[in-house]
Every structure is written in structure tokens, then in C-alpha cells.
Amino acid sequence: MSKKYLIIYFSRTERTKKVAEYLQNQLNADCEEIVDKKSYKGVIGYIKGIFKAKSYTEICATRYNPSYYDELIIMSPVWAGTFAPAIRTYIRKNSDNIKLASLITTASTSNCNGAKKEMESFNIILNKALYINKIKEDSLLDLKEKLLN
């Protein structure tokens, strides 16, 4: 039987969302956007994001129960070297129900090491940790291979 994947992602400007939706099709996964109740839109939102990057926030209720899935794919833009507050908040709320997770970050230049380190602090068994800086078709094709192998 094939593995059941749940993709959860936060996205401010839809780059991470684009990758999440691509993978959702590739893996036949369920997919859920984590919505931050605070707005980070525009230039003011960007600056606010830098100051709040390492904090918790309030997120909207989620639909899928992570304990039902073999593996979670947690996707976030890199904010100040680690993942965004909405993802941190989701992980804290659900860590007891996550069996296994992989991490995928998108960023301008950063890798996923900061987010990976933070994720390890939640005692979740981490499968793969991957990152994408330039979202091109071939980088997406490669992504599925990297995730599964």
C-alpha cells in the first residue's frame, strides 16, 4: 500500500504554495494551508515578519489530523534563517501526533539548516530536509525524487 502523505504549508507570497500544490499532485497527498491570523502583507508585513520570525503566533483551525498520515511534509518559507511563525505554531500544537516528517523550505538564498535544527528540537523523526531557492520546473521534478529516495 502506498504511503499516506499530508502536506502542510505556510506561504506569504505563494512561492511555497506553488511547490506544495505541485507535490500534492505528484504524491497524491492531502494538502493544507496553515493560515496565520496576523497579516504579513506588503512591505510593512515583511518588516514585521523579520521581527516576529522566531516567535509563535495564532493560526486558524486546521482540517486534517496528522496522526492519520504516515508522513507529514512540512513546507515553509525561510524567515530570518528558520521557518515562519505559523509553521512553528503548527508543529508545537501537533508534535505528539506527527509520526514522521520531511521539511521543505523555499528562500531567496538560505538553505534549510536553520529550520531543520529547529524542527529537531521538537523531537519529531525527520526524514528528509530539502530546500529550493529558485523555483523552476526542473527543480520541482528533482524534488519528488529527492523526497522519495
Ligand X SMILES: Cc1cc2nc3c(=O)[nH]c(=O)nc-3n(C[C@H](O)[C@H](O)[C@H](O)COP(=O)(O)O)c2cc1C
- What residues line the site for ligand X (CB under 6 A)? 11-17, 46, 49-50, 53, 77-81, 106-110
Residue 46 or 68: the one with the smaller Cβ distance to ligand X is 46
When the beta carbons of 107 and 129 are compared against ligand X, the nearer one is 107
As given in the structure block, the three cell numbers for residue 4 are: 499516506
CA-CA distance, 91 to 94, in Å (whole number)? 5
**What gap in Å lies between CA 4 and CA 19, rounded to an integer?**
18
Of 50 and 125, nearer to ligand X (C-beta) is 50
Task: Give the number of other Cβ atoms within 10 Å of residue 48's Cβ.
Answer: 15
Total residue count of the chain as it appears in this document: 149
We find the least distance from the C-beta atom of residue 131 to ligand X, in angstroms, to be 9
Closest residue to ligand X, judged by C-beta, is 49
